[in-house]
Amino acid sequence: MDLDSIECVSSSDGLDEDEIHLHHTLHPYSHSHHHPELSSTKPRNGSNNSAITGPTATAPATSVHELLECPVCTNSMYPPIHQCHNGHTLCSTCKTRVHNRCPTCRQELGDIRCLALEKVAESLELPCKYYSLGCPEIFPYYSKLKHEALCNFRPYNCPYAGSECSAVGDIPFLVAHLRDDHKVDMHSGCTFNHRYVKSNPREVENATWMLTVFNCFGQYFCLHFEAFQLGMAPVYMAFLRFMGDENEARTYSYSLEVGGYGRKLIWEGTPRSIRDSHRKVRDSHDGLIIQRNMALFFSGGDRKELKLRVTGRIWKEQNPDAGVCIPNLCS
């Protein structure tokens, strides 16, 4: 695909389309770039949340924590916990990695379980590992992992599409990361007007136009637009993601509209949280999908150039329906 032939011209909140001219390139999924892993220890849920202090935020005692730490992978150990004849322990995952040899004394491990340490772990109650990010919860040792996998205070992955970025952090950190490292366009306001242009629309591949981020109602939203094959049919798709958790995302709605020459397509929906990956949202078809022939009709002229104008707005729901069914996610 000719990357130099693509541009995205955008405007937002009362500005005429010609007042903002931005040149975007198309990023095929196969062209990925890596960023060093980034992280943030700031509280995730906005600037008003501070780290929890007091007894509920106390880290586990160092001695107990070290006892339950695998010497190979340094992760917490869960049953079965193995030990060698000299009493050195390690987790079941690493037992196979060290070829049945104790990493501490090099003796053969055998199949000895450390039942005493498993019992000690069973009696413990520990804070969530995201306590420094604001989670106040305390769990039995064996329930902690399940909670942490779904904890609302866990860091977010970078929402940038078209790359394999490994950055993680809270929302303020990721907003700065998108702006400074990915050079994403930032807009303020709850309405937008984008024009997507491509010189050879007959070439459709798994690719995405550069992300645009909107600051609306004090929150951040990611607007995606891309081209891919839906079965045998080439399509374009636009959708919005919310930079926050699923429950808060459901308090907002958005609309997207594309049209021309007396015809229009309108999509209304709820933005998906960036907890759901970009690819997961795309593959669930949860957004405005435009068949290529219709996109070329909207573009007018000799249909040799894609010129799609996508407008939209974001609003806050007064009584969001917590039971709304998201495509491909409801059983």
Q: How confident is the model at residue 319 (pLDDT cuts 50, 70, 90)?
A: low
Q: Residues with Cβ < 8 Å from 127, sequence gap 6 or more?
A: 56, 57, 58, 59, 60, 135, 136, 137, 138, 139
Question: pLDDT above 70 covers what percent of the chain?
Answer: 73
Helix (H) or strand (E) holding 10: strand 6-12
CA 256, CA 238: separation in Å to the nearest integer?
8
Mean pLDDT for 193-211 is: 71
Q: How confident is the model at residue 205 (pLDDT cuts 50, 70, 90)?
A: low
- The DSSP code sequence of 34-68 is --------S-SS-TT-----SGGGPPPPHHHHHHT
Mean pLDDT for 114-130 is: 88
Q: Which fold has domain 156-316?
A: 2.60.210
Q: Given this model, what pLDDT does residue 194 score?
A: 84
Q: Given this model, what pLDDT does residue 262 score?
A: 84
Per-domain residue ranges of the chain: 65-149, 156-316
- Return the bridge partners of 309, or none: 195
CATH number of this structure's domain 65-149, picked from the four choices 3.60.15.10, 3.10.20.90, 3.30.40.10, 3.30.1330.10: 3.30.40.10
Mean pLDDT for 237-250 is: 94
Four-residue CA torsion sign, 245, 247, 248, 254: positive
CA 83, CA 104: separation in Å to the nearest integer?
11
pLDDT in tens, 61-117: 457 777 888 999 988 888 899 999 999 999 988 988 898 889 999 988 888 999 999
Half-sphere exposure (CA, 13 Å, Cβ side) for 102?
18
- What does the radius of gyration of the chain's CA atoms come to, in whole angstroms? 25
Residue of 146, 112, 161 whose CA lies nearest to 272: 161
CA 182, CA 163: separation in Å to the nearest integer?
10
